[in-house]
Amino acid sequence: MVIRNIRIIDPANNRNEISDLFIRDKKIVSENDYNLASSGTVSGDTEMDGTGLIAGPGLVDVHVHFRDPGQTHKETIHTGAMAAVAGGFTSVVMMANTVPPIDDAAIVRSVIDKASKEPLHIYTCATLTKQMAGKECCDYRSLLDAGAVGFTDDGKPVMDEQLLGRIFDDISLLKVPVSLHEEDPRYITENGVNSGEAANALGLSGSDRQAEISMIERDLDIASKSGVILNIQHISTAEGVEAVRQAKKTNPNIHAEATPHHFTLTDSAVIKHGTNAKMNPPLRKADDREAIWEGLADGTIDIIATDHAPHSLEEKSRDFVSAPSGIIGLETSFLLAYQTLIQKEIIDYDRLFRLMSLNPARLYGLDAGTLSEGSVADITIFSPEEETVYESSRSRSSNSPFLGCRFSGKIRYTIVNGDVVYAPGLQYFS
């Protein structure tokens, strides 16, 4: 394949230019190598006009819930994969809070085998503690040898500080990340809604911001005593952002991620959208959203991740307290980032592809995140001049406050291993 006259954004090589992209044998190659392999002709190959389009390294999401095994009425690995490629993602990392949790090498191998049949790169984390109970360490080496790429009890904090310290010490030797959901349940009356006006409108007390702040501060302190690679997940408070900013000054192993919903919405969305805006941690105030913008711009927050969390219509139709937290996000993530961060000039394209491709790939040591010659041909092609109406989801679930919204921009093609696996209106796999 040759893609002509396309704007190439490749932060790994400080590249931002209009040029041609050449793909041969699943790799990005030079024009010279391409022509040599083609004997000077592109006969039989695909030539695409990229005028007006942007090509970046394939998007990487290191925080998705595909609910497989155990909750496939919400999502399967396959339906999650369909949503991912429609959103421009070429690599994703699944969380371990399945049923049963991914705390055993055999489960890791089973999940990876199932994922290998999909048209993008799917990886998985394993749990920090057995059964995610926060009581007993897992056999991290065996889980890593089975194919896990990191560790998390996402959804549940590890409350035992001494246990978490031992976990950090053990995993620091393996040089893979620990990702933590930072919410202390002692500060939460009802989860999924920020304490204050939004909670009051629902007749609830909600989740106090100190639930996140206290856990982030605690875990940054514990991490400072080890060499663990720590990722603070889905940060939602201004104080949390500042704590990470200060920790990074002395500890290069600290990372943080923000979700599109936290840098797009505020807690007033709960009043408008009900349970489809219920999430953990909850949506916060406008000042928190602006602090997240600043963190994304200055590098304090180095990853954008969706926390794609499918739930069935029946589950989300329950009363607010009984309904589960979380929304889907793979198909809208890049569009929200473009509309909120690029168009408002909070960040530029280089920073966006760092946040959504290069940095997450580097954190997990994935073969992704660059358009360097010789790298795997995973490419996201985006049209900034078109629009997308998010009418329906390719996920098995549809729990999103953004359904029905019109977005600036369109994912035009998703290319994995040199093959087009998604283009609007075309069904490449079923």
* Residues annotated catalytic, as ranges: 307
The span from the CA of 76 to the CA of 67, in Å, is: 6
Query: At which residue do the structure tokens 């371990």 appear?
Result: 96
β-pair partners for 19:
6
Q: Quote helix, strand, coil % in the chain, to nearest 5.
A: 35, 25, 45
Is cis: bond before 69, omega within 30 of 0? Answer: yes
3-state class of 50 per DSSP?
coil
Report how far Cα 311 is from the mean position of its chain's Cα atoms. 17
CA–CA separation, 297 vs 303, rounded Å?
A: 11
CA nearest to 132, candidates 99, 162, 165:
99
Report how far residue 66's alpha carbon sits from residue 62's, in angstroms, rounded to the nearest whole number: 12
Check: CB of residue 207 under 8 Å from CB of residue 190. yes
Residue pair 237/289 in contact (Cβ under 8 Å)? The answer is no
SS3 assignment, position 156: coil
User: Which residues face 18 on adjacent strands?
Assistant: 7
Sign of CA dihedral 282, 285, 288, 294: positive
> In angstroms, rounded to a whole number, what is the distance separating the alpha carbons of residues 388 and 382?
11
In angstroms, the CA 408 to CA 387 distance is 5
